[in-house]
């Protein structure tokens, strides 16, 4: 068997993580955290502004999505690292 057969594709990994998705509390979303967003996929928290339900995060997502500012109380985000 080819060694490449043991490698999982990025879409497969994302699909598997989405199947096990568990929303994280806003307090876990901190600068530098690696996250998974239900719509935009994988990203990294660049900065946060505000507190509690008014917290806005600037997130740099992978691929073609790029940077987005998101109100955390309206988003489904899981901190993965």
Question: What is the tens place of the pLDDT at every residue in 46-75?
Answer: 999 999 899 999 999 997 899 999 999 999
Name the CA radius of gyration of the chain, rounded: 14
pLDDT in the model for residue 81: 82
Domain boundaries defined on the chain:
3-79
Partner residues linked to 58 by β-bridges: 47, 69
Q: Is the pLDDT of residue 12 over 70?
A: no
pLDDT in the model for residue 5: 45
Q: Taking residues 9-18, what's their average pLDDT? A: 70
In angstroms, the Cα distances linking 78 to 4, 25, 41, 81 are: 29, 8, 10, 9
Q: Catalogue the E-assigned strands of the chain.
A: 34-37, 41-49, 56-61, 66-71, 77-79
pLDDT in the model for residue 2: 47
Q: What percent of the chain has pLDDT over 70?
A: 83
pTM equals 0.78
Q: Is the pLDDT of residue 18 over 80?
A: no
Reduce the DSSP state of residue 55 to 3 states and report it.
coil
> Residue 39 and residue 77: Cα distance in Å, rounded?
9
Task: Find out whether 32 and 80 touch, Cβ atoms under 8 Å.
Answer: no
């Amino acid at each position: 068997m080819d060694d490449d057969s043991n490698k999982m594709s990025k879409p497969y990994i994302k699909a598997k993580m989405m199947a096990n998705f568990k929303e994280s509390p806003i307090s876990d979303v901190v600068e530098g955290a690696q996250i998974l967003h239900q719509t935009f996929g994988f990203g990294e928290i660049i900065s946060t502004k505000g507190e509690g339900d008014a917290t806005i995060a600037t997130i740099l997502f992978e691929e073609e999505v790029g940077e987005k500012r998101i109100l955390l109380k309206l988003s489904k985000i899981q901190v993965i690292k």
